[in-house]
């Protein structure tokens, strides 16, 4: 039997609560963890990140098997969950900590991400420029336990928050 090779991918797509479920639904994705990346404070708390004091973005770190679910497919899922033209946050969540980014771990991920972004720009799906940056990965800090799998732990609150955010209407309008 062959061992399955797994890799990490990290994406910032606004509120991390809304970014977990879309990735967890696929074979070949083994874990999706909410956390923080890209700031200047070691071991930031949710309050540090939310206030903007740490410079971090809310992210999801995905453990996946590229042989089952390749990185370019992860990018397809990512793009279809965000407004890549909004540099100031996502939907109802405003501010730096809710902005989007692709954090790459390898040169291959960087190249695939750049090609994916170029293809999205050329597709004509959006009239405004795609502003989601592609950045080298940094230290990942796992968010507090109550944020993990929030869509399952607090389903009623999650569903209410998501329905008010405008995210689902945006997705339906761009990715039918």
Active-site residue list: 15
Q: Reduce the DSSP state of residue 7 to 3 states and report it.
A: strand
Q: What is the rounded CA–CA span in Å between residue 20 and residue 15?
A: 10
- Tokens 């969540």 sit on residue: 93
Contacts 24+ apart (CB under 8 A), 50-53: 50/97, 52/95, 52/96, 52/97
Q: In what order do the strands lie in the sheet with 100-104?
A: 134-136, 100-104, 7-13, 57-64, 29-37, 141-142
Burial of 62 (0-12, 13-18, 19+ CB in 10 A): buried
Burial class (CB in 10 A: 0-12, 13-18, 19+), 169: exposed
């Amino acid at each position: 039997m062959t061992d399955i090779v797994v890799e990490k991918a990290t994406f910032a797509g606004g509120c991390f609560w809304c970014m977990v479920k879309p990735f967890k639904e696929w074979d070949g994705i083994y874990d999706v963890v909410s956390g923080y990346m890209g700031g200047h404070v070691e071991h930031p708390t949710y309050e540090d990140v939310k206030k903007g004091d740490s410079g971090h973005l809310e992210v999801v770190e995905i453990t996946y098997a590229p042989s089952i679910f390749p990185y370019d497919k992860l990018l397809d899922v990512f793009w279809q969950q965000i407004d890549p033209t909004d540099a100031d946050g996502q939907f109802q969540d405003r501010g730096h900590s809710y902005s989007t980014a692709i954090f790459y771990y390898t040169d291959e991920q960087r190249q695939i991400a750049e090609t994916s972004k170029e293809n999205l720009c050329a597709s004509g799906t959006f009239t405004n420029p795609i502003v989601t940056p592609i950045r080298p990965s940094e230290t990942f800090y796992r968010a507090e336990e109550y944020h993990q799998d929030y869509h399952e732990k607090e389903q009623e609150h999650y569903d209410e928050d998501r329905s008010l955010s405008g995210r689902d209407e945006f997705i339906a309008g761009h990715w039918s």
